[in-house]
Structure 1
Amino acid sequence: MRKYVRVVDAVNYRIGRVIMYGLFVMIGILLWSSISKTFFLPSLWTLEMAQFAMVAYYILGGPYSIQMGSNVRMDLFYANWSDRRKAQVDAITVLFLIFYLGVLLYGAWDSTSYSLQYGERSATAWRPYIWPIKIIMCLGIFLMLLQAISELFKDLARLRGEEL
């Protein structure tokens, strides 16, 4: 368990730190969109490319967010609980997250294979292939699933009085 947590946390930490700079990619795309609409002909690709960049930023940054404890949590009761009680509740709720991510990954994988098999394209004027962003989504969901399992292991260790 220790090695799994160490490896998964290290991978997701590094990916998360790199993906943080994706914000500047989105800013650059949207800045170019504004400049091209003002001074040149509007670009067909900017809106959809900004959406793809946002999806990559959000999906690949999710595991890092979970690892850092930056995810949104209802603190009405949680803040007043002991560390042991928090670990108990977290260990139960992360099981729901793992199930959800498993179903999501199954659907994403199926959709990605369809997209690759039939050369699916967007219905916009730019008509980019959809499979690259679907692969990124599969990767992000998979990394989030690995991170959720890592968090479960940390909660179970906390219940035993250990820290991973």
Structure 2
Amino acid sequence: MIDKGIKYLGYFTAFILSFLVLLVVYDATSRYFFSGGSIALQELEWHLFDVIILFGIAYTLKENAHVRVDIFYASYSKKKKTIINIISSLFFVLPFSCMIVYIGIDFVALSFAQNEASSNPGGLEYRFLVKSLLPLSFFFLALVAINEAYKDIKSLREDAKSNESKEYDGAIKL
């Protein structure tokens, strides 16, 4: 269920990216060819960029496309890679995500209480909506980290069981 939800989050992010590209083309065209433009449109571009980055984090982890030191990782055995993934998910990604969610909730609550808006004339209102993506996105990241660690632990157990049965079969053949 988590995998499916994060997959759709990735699709949503891809849609937002497509919309952002069209918005940037429109904004640049109106600014440079028609001497137009809008501060609200420029801020919307930044807000959409925030959506893409923040929601893309969980999808990237789910797809195992995140940044790591592949120079070393690529040469490791499957078992060693799995152990590294478990350790990094449970001891780095999960605590960091929980900390961001914990801190981010107060950050969003303060923004909501102040009804925070852009300080630029003609800028966007309701900045707390964009700020609310911070704890939400790291909540999704924590879910993915737990899910990936669970799958890796399950994989390690299955490999251990299959190795035990191979050893047992070999002992009988002797």
The aligned counterpart of 1:129 is 126
CA contact (8 A) 1:119 1:129 kept: yes
Q: Which has the higher contact order (CA 8 A, sep 6+)?
A: 1
Corresponding letter in the other structure for 2:150: F
CA contact (8 A) 1:90 1:155 kept: yes
Q: Which runs of 5+ in 2 are unaligned?
A: 160-174
Deviations 1:4-48 (A, max 9, x none): xxx111110111122212111111221221122121432121221
Corresponding letter in the other structure for 1:134: K
For the pair 1:35 / 2:29, whether they are aligned, the reply is yes
Q: Which has the larger radius of gyration?
A: 2
The aligned counterpart of 2:77 is 82
Over aligned residues, Cα RMSD in angstroms?
1.5
Runs of 4 or more above 3 Å deviation: none
TM-score by length of 2: 0.83
For the pair 1:152 / 2:146, whether they are aligned, the reply is no
Looking at structure 2, the residues matched to 35 and 89 of structure 1 have their Cα atoms a distance apart, in angstroms, of 48
Looking at structure 2, the residues matched to 100 and 39 of structure 1 have their Cα atoms a distance apart, in angstroms, of 46
Corresponding letter in the other structure for 2:12: V
The aligned counterpart of 2:15 is 21
Looking at secondary structure, tell me which structure has more helix per residue: 2
Looking at structure 1, the residues matched to 52 and 127 of structure 2 have their Cα atoms a distance apart, in angstroms, of 17
User: What SS class does the counterpart of residue 132 from structure 2 fall into?
Assistant: helix
CA contact (8 A) 1:108 1:138 kept: yes
CA contact (8 A) 1:63 1:147 kept: yes
Looking at structure 2, the residues matched to 127 and 73 of structure 1 have their Cα atoms a distance apart, in angstroms, of 36
Give matches, 1:62-73, under 5 Å: 62-73=57-68
TM-fit CA distance, 1:128: 2.2
CA contact (8 A) 1:84 1:158 kept: no
Q: Which runs of 5+ in 1 are unaligned?
A: 1-6
Tell me the number of residue pairs that the alignment of Structure 1 and Structure 2 aligns. 156
